[in-house]
Amino acid sequence: MRAGIALGVVTAALMTAAPAFGAAAVRDCSTGPIWTGDASGFIDNTPYKIEGVAHAPVSSYPQGRNRYDQYHLYLSSKAGQMFEIILVTKSGERPDGTTMTMSLHGNGSEAAPGAPNVQFWSLEDKTKKLKIMNYSASDATMQVVFGKRSGVNLPVQIHFCIPSKRTEIAGHFTVNLSNPS
């Protein structure tokens, strides 16, 4: 009898501890306010905190009649987790002061017609041997809000979630654009 009661209490606690990750949960992180604290959250229900921000040199490429600048960001934790994002703008247009989104099924903001701002994302947790990429999760949504550059520092806020993969990351970080790493 006590074992049955204990099992019921544990089950109830687990069900209320993570309501956002329920099977029927539909969550769109591409809209709404973003948490203002340091960027952190969960990757496959494992705690994640952005502790390193790196980027590749801004590159440019043609597509149709337009040319685009590509921003390739790497957001890492000391625990071996990596969140990689590739974002684009029309060539010569800085991301400063803009909001880039990816809503359900990949729809969202565009650098130009047919060219979404969010080009690619991937998550990796080396200790769990986990790798998730943008084409493997149809319920991934994202909002990236760029602040105004101060010298070489570009402030960024992000809200990203994949309910089916028990993943959510929100908060702010700064990209130092002086030295690509």
Q: Where are the domains of the chain?
A: 26-176
Contacts of 49 (CB under 8 A, 6+ apart): 38, 39, 40, 77
Q: What is the pLDDT tens value at each position of the chain, 181 positions in all?
A: 444 444 343 333 333 333 344 444 568 899 999 999 999 999 999 999 999 999 999 999 999 899 999 999 999 999 999 999 999 999 999 999 999 999 986 689 999 988 999 999 999 999 999 999 998 888 999 999 999 999 999 999 999 999 999 999 999 999 998 866 5
Query: Any idea which residue has 């809503």 for tokens?
Result: 103
Tokens of 52: 């390193």
